[in-house]
Structure 1
């Protein structure tokens, strides 16, 4: 690709500000961060967006409970999400807030477009609404709990009767089904795609897209008694951030349609049904893909505030380390499935996969080089078949990992890299360079050179997942900043013999449990 890098636009959902960030928020943004970093290293021009969703009745009520105005309330809570992004070392290019002027302008532009197309009409809404879910529910969707009607999520519902604008969602069923058919990768994983298709086939009613019973939202243009339904407002953020409608036409043309909206499975319907319908109705192309991941439990229990077992990302990183936490969250569970957080699995993975497999391999090899090769990159002789096999695997690893990451199968991509690490550990044991030192020093140098090249490849490939730890590995090979992109993988950019190397330092300390942790576990 000359001159113009291929654009890649990835988004997290914008997080609802009625609460402080927890592991679910950290997990979604982490997956996007890893993919964004991967794509940048792979030569793409990446736009990675996250932010906060700050309107709606729930925020209005939370602010009132705290006795402050909604804007001051959202200023405080939105900052918590910005702080988390910095703490977790996320590389987002923008952070959007739905209370910004640029966003209000984008929402009103989309509204006017839908109105002009005859897709919105004024009527009155009578039905069940859940403030907690910010969602309308049909009578048939409600369930009985302790003699009360509640939403399928268990949230309380109230009967609402007020004037409302409606979006003609009922007319979009067949067009959406055709769109899903024409774009088989639009919704992933497959199980979620099936859910959405069966929901749309079940028939859809027109969607209420405005409210008059409160004021905390984007005013409906030309009818200020109404504010826009929070989901029409929230989803538009993905367009706002790239300059819709006319703030930055070049950026909009470059990055839209988005390559990937990453969401939790609880908000899939809004992203895979309502959003493409709004966009198609406004003559805007829908995003290329929506991926809905699963939820975490804590030591086998559902996470809930009432159980007091909410997992705070700050606690995890303080206790286990930042890169260790990033590694565990994407390695532990097939991405898309639900996963269980357990202290025992976290410690096992840290100690076996990070400290032993990768950390120990780097330490052993670099220490032998330091001691036996004048503290510089060894000189390689002719490669044997065994050398060629492991080097070939290292050189081909990007081709193995790329399609897995493109399919959001992060766990499989990480597994493939760790297979290479396992092969390298076996290769060290089989070649026994410590023995070759006396019998065949030239062969010892070749073996250590092969291992240093494998470490270079692993170091470059784990940068998206563990940026700080990868940098430590690559620093120990004295790799310049411009030698760390994926285009430097392979034999053409192999380590230069004779390059002086620093004294190696450990990268992943073993996690040693304190006595009370041992008892708890």
Structure 2
């Protein structure tokens, strides 16, 4: 496919003062879905996320944890990345605002603003919001509170540098008026215009002297650069922008950004301050900024202090990453806040993923195996009921593309699941179990099942940006591969002369009862209280500090690892864990060893039985989804969302690896 051009998409970088809750993770999940969809369409996509690490809150948290600020943010940044990676994000670059190249460019940008007269030194006396790390005017307050976080600001006085916002205000107003899609949704655009731009912008305070944890102004080092000037510029420094010099190839290729995906509470910073900074740098503005709504927990904004938070790792443990992605993308409206509870996500998983999708794939594959030994063939015995199914399939791609172009992921998912529902209806209309009773209707039955596989394959391909692992699992069961974009508005893409589905369909999503979920969470936290987020941060920071020299282990450390060849004598899927396979191994000791391994997305049980692999045999046993795992097999991660087991088929079981 010919490339449709470069497309740069970013998330707001996550602040590293605490463990990100599921509402924080919604931002990169949404951006990842858009990035994957753009790639599917043929765009050359570059996707960046990362962490925002300077500022007073981190300085205070580090002191409380008895760590230096850098040690603290090393740990918290690693924890943020861990939570993001659990959601299977496909980012190309993870930036940290403590990265050396970013720090140097921010200092150059500040100096450029100062030299050209956009920044001047004065003193500040007014209102400051510690939570948002932003300065406010009385006119911006709502009932005396910060308009973004709802907290009461405090009075602040200190020497500071200021940016002359008035130099660019009218130019920004003109840009917004001439680019009506620049700020999405429209309600955010109206808010920015009516509440901030049209009443007149105050000059923006861009340095602090009361804190030390920040990027110093190199020509006046008692000042550190205001966290938002530091953070916002990550979108260009991460691409290789060089202020006053020759920028890198990535910047030349991908800037301006196609889309900034941010939470609605930081729309002001991204649609007023950031465009003005870019104007001062004489750089083009991003094409679009999407201030998406919040994910509320049981109707309230998530807050660690209030105790109403949910974390990605807990949710993934219970539902798996794709089910969590589905809920976020389906239940996060375009404009109004969404809601999440354990009950709601379980209800959605059971109804949409287990009943509609999982049951469709399972019954289709089962019927093909039962009636035709797993073979799929289009015998071209058409009937009127085929036409409506084909029309639904042909229209689905462009309907989904239209919704995604307007950033409406929930509506796009609705279109995909309308196709899956239509497939279920087609089964009821054609009644394959009745056709199977009449041998003369075998060709018609074969055509019906072919139409089903062909239609599900289209839906599964379109599902990839939303639920990548599930998409791959469905296509593997159908015995096919993702369809190219240019064929997704057509039917009869499955090989007409035949294909073969998997011998045994695997369950995509298990139905769960809330009682079981509660029990599993209780077991997870048995004998210990969940660590407060701050304690979690400190442990992560300390661990990061300890692991700085991990690449330099002694020979005695390596010698302590018992690696040996083992033969896989049996392999079975693990219930309620579609990523896990249960391996029964002969490692030469005469005792069967059981290992649970997360390789199900890449290997079928029949592919592994009889093969020889390498196992770490002296790990402490661990229980995974009810299976006691007595070791770990060696596999390689290619970095391309593919894991390959390291086989040792020509070496006898029990042989030690030295």
Aligned to 2:216: 219
Aligned to 1:499: 499
Instruction: Give the conservation status (yes or no) of the 8 Å contact 1:15–1:25.
Output: yes
Correspondence list, 1:76-95, <5 A: 76-95=75-94
Is 2:254 the counterpart of 1:258?
no
Note the alpha carbon deviations across 1:368-412, whole angstroms, 9 max, x for none. Answer: 111112311122314334313312321331111112112110110
Deviation, structure 1 residue 244: 0.6
Aligned to 1:467: 468
Q: Which has the higher contact order (CA 8 A, sep 6+)?
A: 1
Q: Distance in 1 between matches of 2:301 and 2:107?
A: 39
Deviation, structure 1 residue 34: 0.9
Is 2:186 the counterpart of 1:190?
yes
Note the alpha carbon deviations across 1:201-249, whole angstroms, 9 max, x for none. Answer: 1111111111122221112232222211110000000001111115752
Over the aligned positions, Cα root-mean-square deviation in angstroms equals: 2.1
Q: Distance in 2 between matches of 1:141 and 1:456?
A: 52
Q: Distance in 1 between matches of 2:8 and 2:199?
A: 32
Pair 88,516 (structure 1): closer, same or farther in 2 beyond 3 Å: closer
Question: Greater CA deviation, 375-384 or 355-364?
Answer: 375-384
Aligned to 1:210: 207
Aligned to 2:233: 236
Deviation, structure 1 residue 142: 4.5
Pair 507,143 (structure 1): closer, same or farther in 2 beyond 3 Å: closer
SS in 2 for 1:506: coil
Aligned to 2:162: 166
Question: Greater CA deviation, 349-358 or 507-516?
Answer: 507-516
Instruction: Give the conservation status (yes or no) of the 8 Å contact 1:391–1:453.
Output: no
Aligned to 2:370: 371
Pair 459,516 (structure 1): closer, same or farther in 2 beyond 3 Å: closer
TM-score, normalised by the number of residues in structure 2: 0.75
Question: Greater CA deviation, 352-361 or 433-442?
Answer: 433-442
Q: Distance in 1 between matches of 2:186 and 2:517?
A: 43
Note the alpha carbon deviations across 1:433-465, whole angstroms, 9 max, x for none. Answer: 111123311111111111111110111111111
Q: Distance in 2 between matches of 1:516 and 1:233?
A: 42
Q: Distance in 2 between matches of 1:143 and 1:47?
A: 38
Q: Distance in 2 between matches of 1:160 and 1:300?
A: 34
Q: Distance in 2 between matches of 1:348 and 1:485?
A: 33
Correspondence list, 1:275-314, <5 A: 275-314=274-313
Pair 464,218 (structure 1): closer, same or farther in 2 beyond 3 Å: same
SS in 2 for 1:301: coil
Deviation, structure 1 residue 163: 2.1
Correspondence list, 1:118-133, <5 A: 118-133=117-132
SS in 2 for 1:514: helix
Instruction: Give the conservation status (yes or no) of the 8 Å contact 2:86–2:316.
Output: no
Q: Distance in 2 between matches of 1:410 and 1:137?
A: 34
Deviation, structure 1 residue 6: 1.4
Pair 42,456 (structure 1): closer, same or farther in 2 beyond 3 Å: same
Q: Which of 165, 171, 182 is the aligned partner of 1:175?
A: 171
Note the alpha carbon deviations across 1:128-177, whole angstroms, 9 max, x for none. Answer: 22222101011344467xxxx75443434333222221111123322111
SS in 2 for 1:224: coil
Q: Report how many aligned residue pairs link the two structures.
A: 512
Instruction: Give the conservation status (yes or no) of the 8 Å contact 1:8–1:44.
Output: yes
Q: Distance in 2 between matches of 1:443 and 1:323?
A: 35
Q: Distance in 2 between matches of 1:431 and 1:11?
A: 46
Instruction: Give the conservation status (yes or no) of the 8 Å contact 1:323–1:466.
Output: yes
Aligned to 1:29: 28
Q: Distance in 1 between matches of 2:107 and 2:227?
A: 13
Aligned to 1:51: 50
Q: Distance in 1 between matches of 2:290 and 2:319?
A: 28
Which protein is richer in helix relative to its size? 1
Q: Distance in 1 between matches of 2:110 and 2:492?
A: 53
Q: Which ranges of structure 2 fall in alignment gaps of 5 or more residues?
A: 522-658
TM-score, normalised by the number of residues in structure 1: 0.93
Q: Distance in 2 between matches of 1:197 and 1:141?
A: 13
Aligned to 2:643: none
Note the alpha carbon deviations across 1:478-512, whole angstroms, 9 max, x for none. Answer: 224xx444344234743343222222222122123
Note the alpha carbon deviations across 1:29-86, whole angstroms, 9 max, x for none. Answer: 1101111111112211111111100111221121112221110011010000111122
Question: Greater CA deviation, 448-457 or 495-504?
Answer: 495-504
Aligned to 2:622: none
Q: Which ranges of structure 1 fall in alignment gaps of 5 or more residues?
A: none
Aligned to 2:538: none
Is 2:512 the counterpart of 1:511?
yes
Instruction: Give the conservation status (yes or no) of the 8 Å contact 1:369–1:378.
Output: no
Q: Distance in 1 between matches of 2:507 and 2:129?
A: 52
Instruction: Give the conservation status (yes or no) of the 8 Å contact 1:243–1:249.
Output: yes
Aligned to 1:451: 452
Question: Greater CA deviation, 404-413 or 365-374?
Answer: 365-374
Pair 316,250 (structure 1): closer, same or farther in 2 beyond 3 Å: same
